[in-house]
């Protein structure tokens, strides 16, 4: 298998700097059996967590209530637990003041950070964690890490400061040599589903930087946690090709973006959540002010280090795609759709391709 340079180190379904596998099939979200859609699952209220009004207006607090359950987590400090026969990991979060944007709601970066945190805690609480950042024990023995190739997020509504959200996450097979991780984010009080997300992961050797098949020993570790369910139904998922942007077809180009030391993750690479902010740097300001980001698809191609200068390119999707029907986007009524590229400034090497959908804030307020 061809040696892959400039790869990102990642753990079992954690988020960091990521790659796209050479084989196209690995970037597709697939399963041997047709998963059960989340819409078909009867949602249950969270057990063991009580949310009441806090001492300040609009701010809620979480009180943990002891449950008489046989399975106790070793990480009692985490506000999370397994449900549905340990197939789903559930964790609650309060949206804090520093996690909101100019419109006083959580940002896409905030959501991505919460998804990453829940995924890592899922692995740690499962007892599978090895020495690596999210890698299982068998993976650590073989110097293997997980790398994400693609992630798609759909947002129905963003939380506000002080809101309590509940996040469920689970994993399943994605073909023979990849794994899928899904998430849903609910409003804790109403149980309204606010965000759905899905991602695809492959395994890479940490030292050789080569993609590899999932060893049988690793499969035996993770298979007991597989759940044949999807957060996003197939017909609403964005699995279409993201077209390449160039100097010729890009409508907006922002150069000179420089990663800082604080942008590095535990693996000394730029955390993939940071890419979102750089991608949005080339989005026209009126769009950021007047529209809400309702869908984002990220396709990771190579890692980025602190020494790299970056460029962010953006163009309306219609300007770079001959047939918009081939995009197979989320099929929702987006007012605007953009295609993005984050690349190295010097050699123009691609880091991340992305597609976003936007809806008018004024229209949302009237719905």
Is there a domain that residue 281 lies in?
A: yes
Is there a domain that residue 68 lies in?
A: no
Is there a domain that residue 57 lies in?
A: no
Residue 13 annotated among the catalytic residues of the structure: no
Write down the number of H helices and E strands in the chain. Answer: 7, 16
126: CATH: 3.10.129.10
From the candidates 152, 206, 269, 340, which is the catalytic residue? 269
Residue 68 annotated among the catalytic residues of the structure: no
Give the Cα separation of 186 and 41 in Å (integer).
Answer: 14
For 122, phi then psi, to 5°, come to: -60, -50
Residue 267 annotated among the catalytic residues of the structure: yes
pLDDT bin (cut points 50, 70, 90) of residue 322 is low
Give the Cα separation of 282 and 340 in Å (integer).
Answer: 9
From the candidates 237, 267, 271, 327, which is the catalytic residue? 267
Q: What is the pLDDT of residues 221-248, one digit of tens each?
A: 999 999 999 999 999 999 899 999 999 9
Is there a domain that residue 314 lies in?
A: yes
Domain enclosing residue 225, as ranges:
76-239
One domain, residues 155 and 221? yes
From the candidates 152, 304, 308, 340, which is the catalytic residue? 304
One domain, residues 105 and 171? yes
Is there a domain that residue 71 lies in?
A: no
Q: How much of the chain exceeds pLDDT 90, in percent?
A: 57
Q: Which of 211, 239, 267 is where one domain is finished?
A: 239
Is there a domain that residue 50 lies in?
A: no
One domain, residues 244 and 225? no
One domain, residues 132 and 224? yes
DSSP H helical ranges for 70-127:
108-126
Chain mean position to CA 142: 26
One domain, residues 233 and 99? yes
Q: What is the pLDDT of residues 336-363, one digit of tens each?
A: 999 999 999 999 999 999 999 999 998 7
Q: Which of 192, 216, 239 is where one domain is finished?
A: 239
Q: Which of 207, 223, 239 is where one domain is finished?
A: 239
One domain, residues 223 and 111? yes
Is there a domain that residue 27 lies in?
A: no
How many separate domains does the chain show? 2
Q: What is the pLDDT of residues 113-165, one digit of tens each?
A: 999 999 989 988 888 887 766 788 899 999 898 888 999 999 999 999 999 99
pLDDT of residue 135: 85
């Amino acid at each position: 298998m061809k040696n892959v340079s400039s790869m990102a180190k990642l753990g079992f379904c954690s988020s960091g700097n990521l790659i796209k596998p050479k084989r196209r099939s690995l970037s597709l979200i697939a399963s041997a059996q047709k998963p059960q859609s989340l819409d078909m699952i009867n949602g249950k209220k969270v057990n063991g967590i009580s949310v009441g009004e806090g001492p300040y207006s609009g701010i809620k607090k979480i009180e943990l209530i002891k449950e008489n359950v046989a399975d106790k987590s070793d990480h009692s400090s985490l506000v999370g637990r397994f449900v549905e026969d340990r197939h789903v990991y559930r964790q609650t979060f309060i949206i804090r003041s520093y996690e909101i944007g100019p419109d006083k709601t959580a940002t896409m970066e905030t959501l991505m950070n919460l998804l990453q945190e829940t995924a890592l805690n899922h692995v740690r609480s499962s007892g599978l964690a090895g020495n690596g950042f999210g890698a299982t024990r068998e993976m650590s023995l073989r110097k293997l890490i997980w790398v994400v190739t693609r992630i798609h997020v759909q947002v129905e509504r963003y939380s506000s400061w002080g809101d309590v959200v509940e996040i469920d996450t689970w994993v399943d097979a994605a073909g023979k040599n990849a794994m899928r991780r899904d998430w849903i984010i609910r409003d804790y009080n109403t149980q309204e589903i606010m965000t759905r997300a899905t991602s695809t992961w492959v395994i890479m050797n940490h030292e050789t930087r080569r993609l590899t098949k999932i060893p049988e020993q690793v499969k035996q570790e993770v298979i007991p946690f597989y759940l044949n369910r999807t957060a996003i139904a197939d017909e609403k998922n964005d699995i279409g090709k993201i077209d390449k942007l160039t100097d010729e077809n890009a409508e907006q180009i922002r150069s000179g973006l420089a990663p800082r030391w604080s942008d590095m993750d535990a693996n000394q690479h730029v955390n993939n959540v940071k890419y979102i902010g750089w991608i949005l740097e080339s989005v026209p300001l009126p769009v950021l002010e007047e529209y809400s980001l309702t869908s984002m698809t990220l396709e990771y191609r190579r890692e980025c280090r602190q020494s790299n200068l970056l460029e962010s390119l953006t163009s309306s999707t219609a300007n770079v795609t001959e047939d918009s029907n081939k995009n197979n986007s989320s099929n929702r009524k987006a007012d605007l759709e953009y295609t993005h590229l984050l690349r190295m400034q010097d050699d123009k090497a691609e880091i991340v391709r992305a597609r976003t959908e936007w809806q008018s804030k004024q229209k949302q307020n009237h719905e």
